[in-house]
């Protein structure tokens, strides 16, 4: 039964990511989003650790200290900020995400929120999830982090995903880049 529940959860997530990607005019990214979740490496582990109310990857990490599915997933999906890391031999360095992947990251967060929060989803709840997430250090580039912050806080304030429209989203992305000295503390 876990196999069916997990498959349906993936499909619900993909539906919502597709919905938001369409709003952002990156429909193809929404269609292709997370196709690696159907690979044996990701799908089989996720069935084993399926919980229904949170990512099976998180459950696996808690139990084993790592997740093979996550290592596979983040390395094949550039909409994850963890994909944009380099220079590990010198301590690691987060790289700024290109706009199309940064906006897909936001659509991914919203899609996960819709899939896991179900009827309790709201843009405010999603923003609260984000604020909780960033209470711990995350290896996200400061401009990418600021972009996610602006987008999710705007959605919460407006109770709308209108800021996903390309002209508004690109405005916020460019604004964050113009303010990079302030954001990076320089």
Q: Domain spans of the chain?
A: 2-34+77-183
Query: How far apart, in whole angstroms, are the C-alpha atoms of residue 134 and residue 70?
Result: 20
- pTM for the model stands at 0.93
Q: Yes or no: say if 4 and 90 are a contact pair by the CB < 8 Å rule.
A: no
- pLDDT tens digit string along 39-98? 999 999 999 999 988 999 999 999 999 999 999 999 999 999 999 999 988 888 999 999
| Alpha carbon separation from 130 to 110, 151, 156 (Å, rounded) | 10, 11, 11
Residue at token pair 């959605």: 155
């Amino acid at each position: 039964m876990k196999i069916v529940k997990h498959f349906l959860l993936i499909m619900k997530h993909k539906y919502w990511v597709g919905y938001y990607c369409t709003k952002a005019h990156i429909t193809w990214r929404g269609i292709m989003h997370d196709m690696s979740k159907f690979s044996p490496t990701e799908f089989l582990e996720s069935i084993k650790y399926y919980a229904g109310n949170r990512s099976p990857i998180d459950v696996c990490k808690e139990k084993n200290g790592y997740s093979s599915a996550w290592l596979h997933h983040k390395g094949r999906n550039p909409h994850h900020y963890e994909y944009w890391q380099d220079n590990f031999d010198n301590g690691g360095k987060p790289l700024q995400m290109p706009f199309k992947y940064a906006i897909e990251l936001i659509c991914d967060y919203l899609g996960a929120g819709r899939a896991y929060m179900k009827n309790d989803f709201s843009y405010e709840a999603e923003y609260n999830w984000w604020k909780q997430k960033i209470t711990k250090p995350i290896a996200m580039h400061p401009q990418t982090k600021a972009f996610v912050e602006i987008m999710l806080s705007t959605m919460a304030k407006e109770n709308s995903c209108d800021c996903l429209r390309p002209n508004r989203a690109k405005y916020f992305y460019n604004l964050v880049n113009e303010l990079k000295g302030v954001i990076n503390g320089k």
